[in-house]
Amino acid sequence: MLQGVETPDGQEYKGAFEYAINSWWWPAGYNNSISNYQGSSSNFAKLGWAKASRIGCNREICLFQQQNVTVSKIVCVLGEEKGAVIGQPIYSSGATCSACPSGYSCSNSLCVKTVSECSVSD
């Protein structure tokens, strides 16, 4: 899944990513009222799907000279995990990190895959 957003002029690097992430999560509101995926056109459920474990993002700065405007474009790609099934829960309620799968540990209140050495084969 590919998700993108344009941020306002003057957003610094970290702020641009925060703006993008917050804009993707707006359908859930501040009270986390959406607990089941309804099949809407919004991709926020895919971003927050409990089984989602891989995401990569990039920022591109674009200058529109005629309007004298600078815009940051943030594009993120999510891994191909199965998820966002209509009628299924987006995530389960529970204590922080209480359902981390095997091979994961808790870091900053998130389940994080335990890092292992990588090997490269020819």
Q: Does a structural domain hold residue 119? A: no
Q: Does a structural domain hold residue 107? A: no
Strand order in the sheet with 2-7: 2-7, 69-78, 55-64
Q: What is the pLDDT of residues 78-111, one digit of tens each?
A: 666 666 667 777 777 789 889 888 888 898 888 8
| Domain count across the chain | 1
pTM of the model: 0.46
Q: Does a structural domain hold residue 104? A: no
Task: Classify 50 as helix, strand or coil.
Answer: coil
Q: Does a structural domain hold residue 16? A: yes
What residue numbers bound the domain in which 61 lies?
2-91
Max CA separation in the chain (angstroms): 54
89 bridge partner residues: 36
Q: Does a structural domain hold residue 109? A: no
Q: What is the pLDDT of residues 32-50, one digit of tens each?
A: 445 555 555 455 666 666 6
CB contact at 8 A, 55 and 83: no
Q: Output phi, psi for 12, to 5 deg.
A: -75, 170
Q: Does a structural domain hold residue 105? A: no
What are the structure tokens assigned to 75, written together?
A: 């594009």
